[in-house]
Amino acid sequence: MFNKLEEIALEERGKAEQYTHTINVCTAAGCASSQSDAVKEALENEVRNHGVEKWCRVRGTGCMGLCAAGPLVAVEPEKPDEVLYQYVKVEDAGDIVASLEDKPVERLRCSTDIPFFTRQKKIALENSGYIDPESIEEYIARDGYSALMKAITEMAPSDVIDEIVASGLRGRGGGGYPTGLKWTTVAKSDGDTKYIICNADEGDPGAFMDRSVLESDPHRVLEGMAIAGYAVGASQGYVYVRGEYPLAVARLKTAIRQARRANMLGSGIGGTLFNFHIDIRLGAGAFVCGEETALIASIEGKRGQPRPRPPYPAEFGLWGKPTLINNVETLSSIAPIIRNGGDWYAQIGTATSKGTKVFALAGSINNTGLIEVPMGTTINDIIYEIGGGVSGGGQCKAIQTGGPSGGCIPADYFDTPVDYESLAKLGSIMGSGGMIVMDESSSMVDVARFFMEFCMTESCGRCVPCRVGTVHMYNILDKFSHHEATPRDLVLLEKLCDMVRNTSLCGLGQTAPNPVLSTLRYFRNEYVEHMVTETNGSGPVTKQMEVAQ
């Protein structure tokens, strides 16, 4: 069976060798919204017009990372010297094809020597942009499913878990819980039936890492889930995908079908006795369903409301059975770890945060897009080196990480290395990987209000502090942004923050005050400036005095 994988890989690589040139067109969400489909079609036509289809092929691939400069087209002649073109239009197709035997088209060229490409280290995204996401053969040709075969034919389940523990991998869904420990708990939980859930409900409004992985390299997630299933003793998995991601769902469906046909999913995988099935469940527009107990309720067909933990899903999860819930990116890192060993992974990153992390760069930054960097890279490097600095020539004021559960980090702290502990110390969190850059024109009070509005409308309504507290906090922040707030409002706001954070039932409520608390911590003066000014006998005084006490 192992041989069959190699056969496919060999055949696929052989097929690729027929072509001296491959033109890759990014067809992931970012580029697709700037009409990369039309560009792909135009390129296909031109290849035919020029009569070069014998040695040149056009492929749609996943995300190449630099979404802001889309549509992106990469020409692979003899690897690794590929030529990357940016802002490609339909009219450019002729020139690109004509240039294949000549010099690259300079006017479209995007240098791949820039830090944006050289400073990245791709593990979870290793295939993104290099394979056709709808072809299992191309995935296999790049060592796909070899980790699964290695696990189920050469390793005991406990060996698999040992590798994950050794890798030091921590959950990429936000919490940073050690993945190996979670797997161990589920493996040890009593019960014949266990489930694996892939959390693809990416709810942070401003993050698109998971979407990109699902759209660019869906098999990697399936392989990670199957390995997890083998390790903890589960034979059924669910991918819970955001309903807003139709392309990701379509690609996942295709991938599941292909994997089943290739016997990499289903019964008797790869000729062994291991069975593993995967089904898709669609979210329906509720941020709170990213919370694991709410997600489970949603898969069970109920209102997506969280319940108190413990018991944790690892013991009492889907339909009361032990359930392993991991994020898309976490599961995407599994196959490389099994292929190369946990120690290999543990060499990357910092003492407590191992490996690489994918970030979605957006906001006022030149290179918006997806990046993957080793843990411990400083914020400065991410913003100014990789990100190419602030767009519009402005000054960077702060970055926001962790979305509605996270906080703002002011520019003074940009020499901080990005890892779980350092970000927490600054009052933010790693979160799932959204990183929004804000320039001088952004008002921090407004940002806090934006996130509070988000939490207020996304609160499930089960527990009192979050259901009602977020409304009051939002109302107060709204007063601030209209310059109508008084010092008493500030006092009340801080009281409510403390109460909601400590008494809410689930993570949504517990972290909803974070954007307020972090902006209060670093930009308190902006709040004060946003208060009403009142006159007393001696002229206008701000209420700053009272606040200071």
Partner 1 sequence: MKRPFKTRIKTLKIDGIDVGAREDETILELAQENGIFIPTLCHLEGVHDVGSCRLCLVEVKGSNKLFPSCMTYAEEGMEVITNSERLQTYRRQVLDLLFSERNHVCAVCVSNGNCELQWMAGKLGITHVGVPYLYPQLAVDASHPYYAHDPNRCILCTRCVRVCDEIEGAHTWDVMGRGVDCQIISDLNEPWGLAESCTRCGKCVQVCPTGALFTKGKAVAEMKKRHEFLPYLRSMREGRNE
Partner 2 sequence: MISRNEKIEPPSDDKRWRIVQATMQRNGFTRDGLIETLHTVQQSFGFLDDDSLRYVAASLNAPLSQVYGVSTFYHLFSLKPAGRNTCVVCMGTACYIKGAPSLLEQIENEYGLSRGETTEDGHLSLMTARCLGSCGLAPVAVINGHIAGKLNAEEALQRLQALQEVENVQQA
Ligand X SMILES: Cc1cc2nc3c(=O)[nH]c(=O)nc-3n(C[C@H](O)[C@H](O)[C@H](O)COP(=O)(O)O)c2cc1C
* DSSP tag of 443: -
17 sits in which H/E element: helix 2-18
Q: Quick check: 76 binds ligand X (CB under 6 A)?
A: no
DSSP reduced 3-state for 231: helix
- Measure CA of the first residue to CA of the last residue in the chain; give whole Å: 74
Residues 449-488 that bind partner 2 (CB under 8 A): 450-451, 454, 460
* Residue 466: contacted member of ligand SF4, partner 2, ligand X, none (CB under 5 to 8 Å, by partner type): ligand SF4
Nearer to ligand FES, 84 or 508 (CB): 508
Question: x/- site string to ligand FES, residues 159 to 198, per CB under 6 A?
Answer: ----------------------------------------
Q: Which of 33, 49, 118, 267 binds partner 2 (CB under 8 A)?
A: 33
Contacts of 64 (CB under 8 A, 6+ apart): 24, 26, 28, 31, 72, 74, 84, 128, 129
Q: In a 10 Å sphere around its CB, with 0-12 CB exposed, 13-18 middle and 19+ buried, how is residue 158 labelled?
A: exposed
Do 330 and 144 form a contact (C-beta atoms < 8 A)?
Answer: no
Tokens at 528, concatenated: 């004060």
Q: Quick check: 452 binds ligand SF4 (CB under 6 A)?
A: no
- For binding to partner 1 (CB under 8 A), which residues are involved? 286, 303, 307-308, 456-465, 467-472, 475, 492, 495-496, 499, 502-505
398 closest CA partner among 428, 377, 375, 419? 428
Q: Quick check: 504 binds ligand SF4 (CB under 6 A)?
A: yes
Minimum CB–partner distance for residue 33 and ligand FES (Å) = 9
324 closest CA partner among 211, 229, 220? 229
Nearer to ligand SF4, 142 or 307 (CB): 307
Contacts of 453 (CB under 8 A, 6+ apart): 474
* Residue 201: contacted member of ligand X, ligand SF4, partner 2, none (CB under 5 to 8 Å, by partner type): ligand X
Residues 186-205 that bind ligand SF4 (CB under 6 A): none
Question: x/- site string to ligand X, residues 307 to 346, per CB under 6 A?
Answer: ------------------xxx--x----------------
Contacts of 37 (CB under 8 A, 6+ apart): 27
* DSSP tag of 383: I
Nearer to partner 2, 97 or 398 (CB): 398
Nearer to partner 1, 236 or 510 (CB): 510
Residues at the site binding partner 2, with contacts judged by CB under 8 A: 29-30, 32-34, 67-68, 70, 202-208, 211-212, 243-245, 281-287, 298-305, 360, 362-364, 368-369, 400, 403, 434, 436, 438, 442, 447, 450-451, 454, 460
